[in-house]
Amino acid sequence: MNISKSLAKIVLATTLVGLLIAVALAPVAGISGVAIARTNASMESDVDDLSAGEAPGVTVIKDADGNNMAYLFQQRRHPVRGDQISQDMKDAIVSIEDQRFYEHEGVDFQGNFRALATNVLAGGVQQGASTLNQQYVKNFLLLVRATTPEEQQAATEQSIGRKLREIRMAADIDKKLSKDEILTNYLNLVPFGNHAYGIEAAARTYFGISAAELSLGQSAMLAGMVQSSEYLNPYTNTAEVTDRRDLVLQTMARNGYVTQEEADAAAAQGLGVLESPALLPNGCIGANDRGFFCDYVLQYLADKGLDEQELSRGGYTVNTTLRPAVQDAAKAAIDSQVNPNQPGVAGVINVLEPSPNSREVTAMVSSRTYGLDLESGQTILPQPYSMVGNGAGSVFKVFTAAAALDAGYGVQSNLEVPSRYEAEGLGRGGAENCPPDRYCVENTGTYRGTMTLQDTLAQSPNTSFIKLEEQVGIDHVVDMAVKLGLRSYDDPGTYDGENSIAQFAKDAPMGSFTLGPTAVNPLELANVGATIASGGNWCEPDPIASVTDKEGNEVYIEETPCEQALDFDVSNALANALSSDSVDGTAANAARAMGFGGRVAAKTGTTESNQSAAFLGFNSKIAAAPYIYNDGTSTTPLCANPARQCGEGNLYGGEEPARAFFSIAGQVAADGAIAGYDRAYDKGVSGEEILDQQRNRGEAEAVSTLEDRGYTVKVTRVNGDGVAYGRVVRALEPNGGLKKGAEVVLQVSDGTGAPSNDSSAGSAPAQPGAPQPGSPGGPGRTNQQPAPAPQAPRPLISQNDVDRITNDLRNMFGL
């Protein structure tokens, strides 16, 4: 009775197995029906990717010289062609895993009938008989398709349904690929332990050679490990791995791939693995002093839509702009000024290459060692390209000078240099004994009573720049800082979690802004120099030369368009105004100490109490901004020689930061140039001259010119005194001086006392030597032109009469 039941169960199981395999292999329109149709689309997609050998790879990040800098991967895999895998390896894996590989069509029916029948009788999976095709499918679904824990569980669940899916897909790929293609894809996919996926990674990890160089014994060891790559580890389970290798060698001899003598000779040898597995560093942590730059590359690409998750699976090649010679020079320069192990103080340098159409980042360093050992001073914080420190100090006077030149001042304009200055409209506080409605500042040291703008940039008296900031307006100065490169200042929340630094500085208003009291992004600060060196053209700092996928196709990376942040001529004038600092200014001693004799535009900066110091330098070949600041848990003054935290600071931007810059510039940019400039920008045009130039202009033109310069305008009607109706008789200077926002009274002719001949209504002749509208030194530097003199014959009704009637009508109707 029991025998009859067992036979019946076997017959039923065999029938069910045959039906299940038939269903798995049947076309969609046939016996499989709706059930297979539901999954057919996804299966076809998987089969296509299986056929293409799709698998996660290693992304390589390279420097500008083509050296590998860092690697990113979830699975360390280096796909190779079939002819790049030794024949011994192919024979070994076939012998131990699928002896009938070259005979079946993806599914071994003998083995599957036996295994499925056993599993049906047991009510679950008890026995496997997977071919290499089926193993390839299973590993593909697990290692490629499954990206979540749920998907990984589904890919390895012990169910008949999963087995049938494998059978169908295994048969499909056998129709699409040759046996060697299937074998190659399989060997490129499967894990071999110790983070090695695929045969090339395995050969490098265990033997330090390529897959093409694998010997018989090495191939047998690796083929044997596939069964359980985590358990069969030659470094922790040598005996089991050796036994498994020898088993593979014997199967190869039985199947005729090698002779018995060859198998025995290989088995007599040791495993021959490396002393320790040759692992590949994963991520930027293996990039050493390039680690900060590597992190910036990942952040930059993520912002462009290519995130780290995709990079770690995609097998991309990322070619960067980092130049090893510049990077090494920058690292040596900052380390010579700031000890990498010094607690509480760090120095950073970014080097960019000026260009009107691009902005390559060629170096990015910190005095800190990139790493995870915090006790020894290492860090992975983004110091060189995030908001750090206590400010760049007087480097920010560059923005005030830029705003002044943009408003009409000249490189050689004379500025007052009072020992103390009390500014209106710039907030309150500052120096001692300051009136409650003023912002007060005093100079450290003694200066001449007046200096040119160029000399004030070189000597850096504070009072001149506070007064200049007052005159051109805090809004103009702050906007100039943002436009020239400090773009983070415009980001919401950078000041207090809600307001941007730029908005707060305007609203406060922050009179000390020109003295650089706020944290800076050192990369953006360096880019300020690059913008000015590029004729006022701002471009986003770019670390990427190109990105290609694993097939070698270039990947499009969207670039932020460059933009003209400052007028070309004004920018070149500013660069020349900054050219004296390294000659006879606050950076001259550092330039001489480092033996630098080239041309650079530069500005030093030191914050109050010497809590941080910076140097901005640039010419046609380099833009860099060495920055030394507190990076400890407490903020204190900083001292020099060596740079360190101390009680009373004496660290200045013209010393350690300047020396670091000249050290680099002497190696990579000694022959760099500063662009010439239109000498009309030497003199500029003063506010008083602007007022004088409005005489005889039409009302609308004069109002527009004055408002463009930041003044408010009040129009009054007065006796023409020889000036035609509707034209300016005079512009009166405000009692408080020509400061930004001051009210200028524009006296316009009411027609009385005007000349009787209409020809007098034309433009007044140019004053000798006065800059003309639209010229480099012209008022407001606008493109507006003075109204031309009338050319037509005198009409019956003069223009003077028309203007008067028009004005009366406007007044009558309130227009």
Which contacts of 175-179 are long-range, i.e. CB under 8 A and separated by 24 or more positions?
175/105, 175/106, 176/47, 176/51, 177/51, 179/101, 179/102
Q: Name the phi and psi angles at 723, rounded to 5.
A: -105, 140
- What is the residue-wise DSSP string for 610-631? GSEEEEEEE-SS-EE--EEEE-
Determine the pLDDT at residue 807: 56
- Average model confidence (pLDDT) across the chain: 88
Range 46-54+81-267: architecture per CATH: Orthogonal Bundle (1.10)
Whether the upstream peptide bond of residue 509 has omega within 30° of 0, thus cis, is: yes
- Convert the pLDDT of each residue in 524-572 to its tens digit: 999 999 999 999 999 999 999 999 999 999 999 999 999 999 999 999 9
Which run of H or of E encompasses 233?
Answer: none
Separation CA 640–CA 659 (nearest Å): 12
Separation CA 653–CA 645 (nearest Å): 16
Which of these CATH numbers, 3.30.10.20, 3.40.366.10, 3.40.1350.10, 3.30.565.10, describes 687-813?
3.30.10.20
Determine the pLDDT at residue 15: 54
Say whether 687-813 and 46-54+81-267 share the same fold: no
Determine the pLDDT at residue 120: 55
pTM of the model: 0.82
Which run of H or of E encompasses 323?
Answer: none
What length does the chain have?
815
- Structural tokens at position 444: 């450290």
Separation CA 549–CA 801 (nearest Å): 75
615 closest CA partner among 349, 276, 264, 810: 349
Residues of the chain with pLDDT under 70: 1-45, 110-129, 686, 736-740, 756-815
Determine the pLDDT at residue 778: 40
Strand partners of residue 520: 388
Ramachandran assignment for 274, one of left (phi > 0), alpha (psi -120 to 50 degrees), beta (any other): beta
Helix pair 216-225, 260-267: axis angle to 10 deg? 80
CA-based R_g, the chain, Å: 39
Separation CA 170–CA 52 (nearest Å): 14
Residues in CB range of 165: below 8 A, 6 or more apart: 24, 39, 43, 137
In terms of DSSP bridges, do strands 612-618 and 196-197 run parallel, antiparallel, or are they unpaired?
Answer: unpaired
What residue spans define the domains of the chain? 46-54+81-267, 412-512, 687-813
